[in-house]
A and B are shown apart, each in its own frame.
Chain A
Amino acid sequence: MSAAAVEALALRKEYGPRVAVDDVDLTVHRGDVYGYLGPNGAGKTTSLRMMLGLIHPTAGIVRLFGNDPVDDPIVALRGVAGFVEDPTFYPYLSGRTNLELLSGLDGGVDRARIDEVLDIVELAPRAGDRVRGYSHGMRQRLGIAAALVRRPQLLLLDEPTTGLDPGGMRDMRELVRALAGEGITVLLSSHLMVEVEALCNRLAVIQRGQIRFEGGLEELLGRSDGQYRLDTTDQGRALELCRAAAGLRDVSQENGDIRFAAERSAAAALTVDLGRAGVGIHALVPEGATLEELFFELTEEAAE
Chain B
Amino acid sequence: MTLRAYRWELRKLLSQKRTFLGLGAVVVIPLIFVTALVLSPPEGERSQFFFRYVTETGWAVPLILLVFSSIWFFPLVTALVAGDIVAAEDQNRTLKTILTRSTTRTSVFAAKVLAAFTYALVALLLFGLTSTVAGGLASGFDELPTFTTVISPGRAAVLVAASFAVYAMPVLGIAAIGVLLSTISKNSAGAVVGTLMVSLTMQLTRIIPGLDGDGVQRLMLTRQLNAWQSLFRDPIDWSPIVHGAWVSVVYAAVALVIAWLHFVRRDVVA
Contacts and interface: CB of A to CB of B under 8 A. Distances in A.
Contacts of B207: none
B98 interface: yes
B267 to A, nearest CB: 4
B267 A105 contact: no
B102 A74 contact: yes
Given A56-B267, A73-B104, A105 B98 contact: yes
B4 A107 contact: yes
B16 interface: yes
Given A49-B269, A93-B12, A102 B99 contact: no
B5 interface: yes
Nearest to A88: B93
Binding site secondary structure of chain A? loop
B101 A106 contact: yes
A288 B255 CA distance: 63
Interface string B102-130: 11110000000000000000000000000
A91 interface: yes
Given A92-B16, A105-B8, A82 B104 contact: no
B92 interface: yes
Given A54-B267, A55-B269, A77-B102, A102 B96 contact: no
B96 A83 contact: yes
Interface string A93-109: 10001000110111100
B108 to A, nearest CB: 8
A80 to B, nearest CB: 8
A204 interface: no
A105 B92 contact: no
Contact of A101 (B11, B100, B104, B265): B11
Nearest to A73: B104
A91 B97 CA distance: 13
Interface string B1-12: 000110110011
Identify the interface centre among B7, B96, B104: most chain A CB within 10 Å of its CB.
Answer: B96
Interface string A60-92: 000000000000011001101111110111111
A90 B12 contact: yes
A105 B5 contact: yes
B186 to A, nearest CB: 15
Contacts of B15: 90, 92-93, 97
Given A104-B4, A105-B4, A105-B8, A53 B100 contact: yes
A200 interface: no
A49 B96 CA distance: 9
B253 interface: no
Interface residues of A, number: 32
A245 to B, nearest CB: 55
A28 interface: no
B146 interface: no
B257 interface: no
B152 interface: no
B268 interface: yes
Given A83-B97, A105-B98, A54 B103 contact: no
Interface in A93-133: 93, 97, 101-102, 104-107
Contacts of A146: 97
Contact of A54 (B16, B104, B268): B268
A107 B104 CA distance: 12
Contacts of A92: 15-16
A176 interface: no
Given A54-B268, A90-B12, A93-B15, A102 B98 contact: yes
B267 A102 contact: no
A258 interface: no
Contacts of B99: 52-54, 73
A71 B131 CA distance: 50
Contact of B101 (A84, A91, A102): A102
Contacts of A150: 101-102
Contacts of B201: none
A104 B97 contact: no
A251 to B, nearest CB: 53
20 contacts: A49-B96, A49-B267, A49-B268, A54-B96, A54-B100, A55-B268, A55-B269, A73-B99, A73-B104, A74-B102, A85-B96, A88-B92, A90-B92, A91-B92, A93-B15, A101-B11, A104-B8, A105-B98, A106-B101, A107-B102
